[in-house]
A and B are shown apart, each in its own frame.
Chain A
Amino acid sequence: MRVSLFITCLIDQLWPSVGSSAVEVLRRAGCEVVFDERQTCCGQPAFNTGYRAEARRLARRFIEIFEEGGADYVVSPSGSCTAMAHHFHELFADDEAWRRRAEALAARTYEFGGFLVNVLKVEDVGASFKGRVTWHDACHGLRDLGLREEPRRLIRGVRGAEFVELANADSCCGFGGTFSVKYPEISVAILDNKIDAIEKAGVRAVVSGDASCLMQIGGRLTRNNSSVKTMHLAELLASRE
């Protein structure tokens, strides 16, 4: 099975290890992984801020690139960028041809954890990790893509990892893209509820499926000199301790 990776700009620039972990896990699960170097961004920041023309430009490019290469699936270690690909069709309400292309691509575009569990039917990827971990549901993975049990099953499959539920696992971390800098005080007030719950959980790492949430949560944890570290699901699943 041929899988084309969409790595997202945040991961490419800030956490390349998430990308290489995703590659490793997918290969371990038997996929042939390809990566088209022309890819950049799905256009979500523009779309979410109301800049539809700019978003459309990036969406067209995205669709063109991922139509080529003959991969069976497009997989991304990000719930929100995957959800963006699922929203592309809204940008082409008046453009039948592009809308079709957008829908066809969306139909074979999956979030990393959801892809493992729902398409590959894998829950144990042979990972091991020492210590207690918890999970933060990134909003778009949870509410746009409906992934609730999938990541939890994957984490439970990690040898040595003790999984604890956060009291507010499914509430927002306050990131929200440009919201985080347009209304930083509100964003951080929301975030602090999440941080409190994480600290109470007494974990070694908080795991999530979106780099953006991890940037938000991690940025506050390090500012507070917390000992809890942030990890992407792909990193946890690639881990062998």
Chain B
Amino acid sequence: MHQQTSETFDRNAREALADVQLRGALRNLATTFGGRRKEAIATVEDWEGLRDRARAAKDETLAHLDKYLEQFVGNAEKAGAQIHWARDGAEACRIVLDLIRARGASRLVKSKSMATEEIHLNAALEAEGLAPVETDLGEWIIQLAHETPSHIVVPAIHKSKRQIAELFAEKVGIEPTDDVAVLTGAARRILRRSFAEAEVGISGVNFGVAETGTILILENEGNARLTTSLPRTHIAVMGIEKVIPKFTDLDVFLKLLPRSGTGQRLTAYQSLITGTKRRPEDEGPEELHLVLMDNGRSRMLSHPVTRQSLACIRCGACLNACPVYQQVGGHAYGSVYPGPIGAVITPQLSGLKQSAQLPYASSLCGACREVCPVKIDIPELLLHLRAEVTEGTAAGTAAQHGPVKSRPLERLAFGLYARAWSSPTLYLWGARVARLLQGAVVRKGRIGKVGGLLAKLAPPLAAWTEWRDAPPLAPRTFREQWREEQKR
């Protein structure tokens, strides 16, 4: 298999569609998570009102992000946390690495975090001879298999039970079994040892409360709680957009997030961490380091349309609901953020030049917008990015990553279309000529698969008719019929 990047989305997607095993693993995604989500949101009285409140809280934060960050940092420091600012991923990785080195640590555990995936922290640490252990079961599986997550909430969703059993047999040395209890038991034994020995725990952050300086981490396995409480040092990497103003805002988000993503009413573990431990007999780490990371976020913040990308709470609902994601899975997107929100965020993080395909990897059906707990208008964002692709503007992005590839043929086609369709005469004559020509391809009242020269001349027609018939132009247009009727 070739290296899957967002640049090769089309190829990645074709490979994914041909992967029977993957299609099988994805088959139940929509029904399982979608169905559970529906049941879970039915238990909330005013779901729509809740969504509005969540979005309002996010909008308020994003409108005054500097103020809330300052407040958050002040309160976190007061509680004993140490703050580090990182402009980009490389800087964030360096900060984490330096912290580990300064402590002479080598035994590291990690809980699941998209922010650290985003900056490829593991690779950066491994390049320096360190071996962080992922402790979320799904992430651990992915790490064993040397893969990347294919979903932001269920990272190993692309793997079948059988594949996982084989992986365990090979890497963990247990008898091949599809007994989930045996598999998780084996994982637990190994991970417990890592926890007991760990010197540094690395986590992400779901929410940072400005009012109190508290960070909140949500998870279902208890591994994040161990990661953040057993080792002497806890390093949490968080995007600057994770701040929310008040403690009471959590009420809304804690109702929305688990219901939207996994269809749970409550996440099993909700760890609220405010600074370090105060007295020796307390539990928890002696040091807490918060790495606050920008990595393209202020650019998103600067435009009124793209700003809403930062409201995302990484629940995964839009992935589960997306017809494209349901078919091709996460790896096809070539980014740690797949699916609809990935198609929006990835080009803004890594540049439109490299990810120009992603905004087009959507039928604009709007299912993502419908399920998004914070009402992000993902189709609007996709359209905005598409316009940036064709206009090659991508303000900050272009400057940073070079201009977007021009598409001369497509541009010509749309230019011609806009001209011809602006003139009733051209429109009329265009249609008449097409009607005359189509005789060559219409059989039994439809246009079947076209090949040869025509396929070369009209690639869209070839792409359409490869799997679908095309309807012929009608003998008489509606306007011709109308005119005749008016004469009578």
B417 touches A49 (CB 8 A): no
Partner of A183, one of B10, B388, B410, B478: B10
A166-191: CB near B (< 8 Å → 1, else 0) gives 00000110111111111111111111
> What 0/1 pattern do residues 208 to 240 of A give for CB contact below 8 A with B?
000000011011101100000000000000000
Residues B434-477 near A (CB distance < 8 A): 446, 448, 459-460, 463-464, 466-474, 476-477
A37 to B424, CA, bound (A): 8
| Chain B residues closer than 8 Å to A223, beta-carbon distance | 448, 467-469
State the CA gap A191–B418 with chains docked (Å). Answer: 29
Interface size in chain A (residues, C-beta < 8 A):
67
**Once the chains bind, are B360 and A179 in contact (CB under 8 Å)?**
yes
The answer on a CB contact under 8 Å between B481 and A48 is: no
Contact with B along A48-61 (1 / 0, CB 8 A): 11111111011001
B468 touches A220 (CB 8 A): yes
Which of A48, A186, A188, A223 has the most chain B CB atoms inside 10 A of its CB? A186
Q: A52-B387, A181-B463, A186-B324 are in contact. Are A13 and B13 (CB under 8 A)?
A: no
| B390 contacts partner chain A, Cβ-Cβ < 8 Å | yes
Of A20, A51, A54, A179, the residue contacting B363 (CB under 8 A) is A179
Interface positions, chain B 1-46, Cβ under 8 Å from A, are 10, 13-14, 17, 30
A220 near B467 with CB under 8 A, answer: yes
Q: Is the CB of A46 closer than 8 A to any CB of chain B?
A: yes
Contact stretch, chosen from A106-114, A139-147, A150-158, A196-204: A139-147
Determine if B414 and A177 form an interchain contact, defined as CB atoms under 8 angstroms apart: no
| B interface, size bucket | 35 or more
A79 to chain B, nearest CB (A): 11
- Once the chains bind, are B418 and A58 in contact (CB under 8 Å)? yes
Binds A, one of B72-80, B142-150, B252-260, B366-374: B366-374
- Which chain A positions have C-beta within 8 A of B388? 50
B365 near A172 with CB under 8 A, answer yes
A184 proximity list for chain B (CB < 8 A)? 463-464, 466-467
Q: Is the C-beta of B267 less than 8 angstroms from some C-beta in chain A?
A: no
Instruction: Give complex CA distance A43, B422 in Å.
Output: 10
Tell me if A161 counts as interface (CB < 8 A to partner B): no
- Of A7, A172, A219, the contact of B471 (CB 8 Å cutoff): A219
A16, B324: Cβ atoms closer than 8 Å: no
Known: A188-B468, A189-B17. A144 touches B418 (CB 8 A): no
Contact B421 A40 (CB under 8 A): yes
Q: List 16 A-B contacts (CB under 8 A).
A: A12-B478, A23-B482, A35-B482, A45-B417, A49-B414, A51-B411, A54-B418, A139-B367, A171-B323, A172-B323, A180-B363, A183-B361, A215-B470, A216-B468, A220-B469, A222-B446
